[in-house]
Amino acid sequence: MRTINKEVQLSLPSKEGTTIQAEISILYRVREDKLHEILQNAGEDYEATLILTTFRSAAADVSARHFAKDMHSTERTNIGNEIAELMNQRLYHRGFEIEGVMLKSIVLPPGLARSIEEKLQAEQDAQRMQFVLQREELEARRRIVEAEGIRDSQKIISAGLMQNALQWRSIEAFRELANSPNTKIIITDGRTPIFITDDKK
């Protein structure tokens, strides 16, 4: 009644017609309520008669729906789950429970393996370049904001300095007029002096 781990080496077809060499583990157990029926119908060699035969058929059916690169990537777990589900559909009523199917080792043809690796490398390079571009774009925006801030602050400072300079020059003009011996009339708004002198003197 314990869980049995059966390791199988198998050639699997892929969707594009490539043959993949795989090492696969099948975890299964015999259902206690079906043991008598299994021994009566399949005999003691039920593993070869039912488990392995069903596994080869299910594995071929599932792998033929996937590309070779899927078996070589993180999709292999999903492929194993699909095989286990299909085996359970075919074997559960006959007294077996498939607990899991794991694709442990996948060997691709050399040319295909190289092209897949190159494609994965190109995808990684593209993702890295996208990250660099996004980072540079954010840095450019930061510099624009910084430059706009500096420009605005300089405008404020310049406006303040100009006003202060005008006020200082007005004070100087008032002082010079006050110290002048000539008679004069000063009309002012408090900021800029406008004066009238007597030209006859």
pTM of the model: 0.54
Tokens 């004069």 belong to 184
Tens-digit pLDDT profile for residues 56-105 = 999 999 999 988 878 877 788 899 999 999 999 999 999 999 999 998 88
CA-based torsion, 130, 131, 136, 140: positive or negative? positive
Written out in words, the top-level CATH class of the domain with range 4-108 is alpha beta
**187, 194 contact by CB (below 8 A):** yes
Main-chain dihedrals φ then ψ at residue 120, nearest 5 degrees:
-60, -40
Structural domain boundaries in the chain: 4-108
Give Cβ neighbours of residue 6 (< 8 Å, ≥ 6 apart).
25, 26, 27, 28, 47, 51, 52
> Given this model, what pLDDT does residue 183 score?
58
Helices 76-91, 53-63: axis angle to 10 degrees equals: 140
Is the confidence at residue 193, as pLDDT, over 60? no
Distance between CA atoms of 185 and 201, rounded to whole angstroms?
Answer: 14
- Mean pLDDT for the chain? 80
Half-sphere exposure of 167 (CA within 13 A, CB side): 7
For the record, the structure tokens of 133 come out as: 């571009």
